[in-house]
Structure 1
């Protein structure tokens, strides 16, 4: 039976290669990343949908030789990073071009979508914030809640002078921390943050500030060890989706 692992590896190599077989791209659904990945319940069955799932299905349509697998399996971002570094995951959808990411992945040129980062506060908090300096002046009374392992943590840290709490792993946890007074602000992307507030039933308890905001672009990134021809197939298909307007249509589908 010792030959089985080697046989399985040979089969996977043949299956991933070009020719009659599909080019298999291993990925995962990132937890707490709505609307990149969202849970859908239909007729008693649960599946994972969202911007990134639609993009991957679109890539498969443009290039029938591409096949993304793993997008129906939830994983936290930290595990996805570990999987990429270990060679178990080939691609991650919707990441920012920041140092922590560029040091680990190879970024494809096409912008998938752009988002705005908004700040949420308690509805009974009458604070008036115009810019990030106003928050810096609050010191320990201006704690910004963020999600552990997400790119916004690095972005805010790089801005300097801000007090950040990135211990939570879900929007619900941060919204509850906000209500409990364990943070003054919750910073998260839109689309995404409004949906999280609605799903938690907290529309009357939490409000969003108009200022300040941050704008960020998101990309498809692949493992630096992914074969060049695999990377090129994904990149070429993304160019087609961008040129046809399909990427824009997918993003607009999930606008809050």
Structure 2
């Protein structure tokens, strides 16, 4: 009888500590197959895989809205307008941090690099050198990204394009000499386009930045803590690192 009582007490305690069901609104980013690529089940996107890992760590937590495939600008607007609760994954910038919050756990890091034609022997070690080169031909960068704003601030003349694929085509045709972007995205598109014998990554990493989970400005603190705890577990057990390596 006493044993049964202790079992009941233990079960009651476990129930008290169980996470309550929680559903949060999100969306997919269109045009970024490294982040979201539901058409490729074996590699559905790094950010989607991190999201699913969070759900596994916290089985009572679910994300809705993944049927929405939206351009980055639209995702940012919905997050600022509190029409979505969270978004995997975004870089930080002062402008963005005025509009929403971020969980403190880095999800993965991206490196700023240039891509140039394989026969281009020039080396670019600073943004000042890129700014000088951009006077002859503008540097290609993905439209609407924080990276574009970073280059403009450094006085690099840029042309914004819709995708890495478009940028690589322009580079191959000689319409541009340099693409500036995220290594993880550029490597994926170079591989998909089988352009490894035509283009190369420059030798310099201009900047390394972590991607984070973005949270709407008024998301309850208890929800943020729950998400952050799940991400800390994934960081501690090596899951975040393993997922990032899978997509490089």
TM-score category (smaller protein): 0.7 to 0.9
Shift, 1:185, TM fit: 0.9
C-alpha separation between the residues in 1 aligned to 2:25 and 2:162?
23
Q: Secondary structure, in 3 states, of the residue corresponding to 2:224?
A: helix
Q: Distance in 2 between matches of 1:127 and 1:220?
A: 37
Q: TM-score, normalised by structure 1?
A: 0.81
1:1-256 aligned at under 5 Å gives the runs: 22-41=21-40, 49-158=44-153, 160-166=154-160, 168-255=161-248
Contact 2:164 2:185 in 1 (8 A): no
- Report the aligned-residue RMSD: 2.2
Q: Contact conserved, 2:19 with 2:58, CA < 8 A, in 1?
A: no
Query: In the aligned structure 1, how far is the partner of 2:81 from the partner of 2:223?
Result: 18
**How far 1:102 sits from its partner (Å)?**
0.9
Q: C-alpha offsets along residues 60-119 of structure 1, whole Å, 9 cap, x if unaligned?
A: 111122101223432110111122133321111121121122122111111111121211
Q: Which protein has the bigger strand share?
A: 1
3-state DSSP of counterpart to 2:104: strand
**TM-score (normalised: structure 2):** 0.84
| Off by >6 Å, runs of 4+ in structure 1 | none
Q: CA deviation at 1:139?
A: 4.2
SS of residue in 2 equivalent to 1:140: coil
Sort the Cα spacing of 1:164 and 1:64 in 2 relative to 1 into closer, same or farther, 3 A: same
- Judged with a 3 Å threshold, the aligned counterparts in structure 2 of structure 1 residues 195 and 20 are, in CA distance, closer, same or farther, namely closer
Question: Larger Cα Rg: Structure 1 or Structure 2?
Answer: 2
Q: In the comparison of the two structures, how many residue pairs are matched?
A: 231
| Cα deviation 1:3-36 (Å, max 9, x = unaligned) | xxxxxxxxxxxxxxxx997311111111232422
* Compared CA separation, residues 105 and 173, structure 1 to 2 (3 A): same
1:50 deviation in Å? 1.5
- Report the Cα offset of residue 180 of structure 1: 3.2
Question: Shift in Å at residue 244 of structure 1?
Answer: 1.9
Question: 1:222: how far off?
Answer: 0.7
Unaligned runs of 5+ in 2: 1-17
Counterpart CA distance in 1 for 2:229 and 2:244 is 19
- Paired residues of 1:145 and 1:165 also in contact (CA < 8 A): yes
For the 8 Å contact 2:33–2:45, the answer to whether it is kept is yes
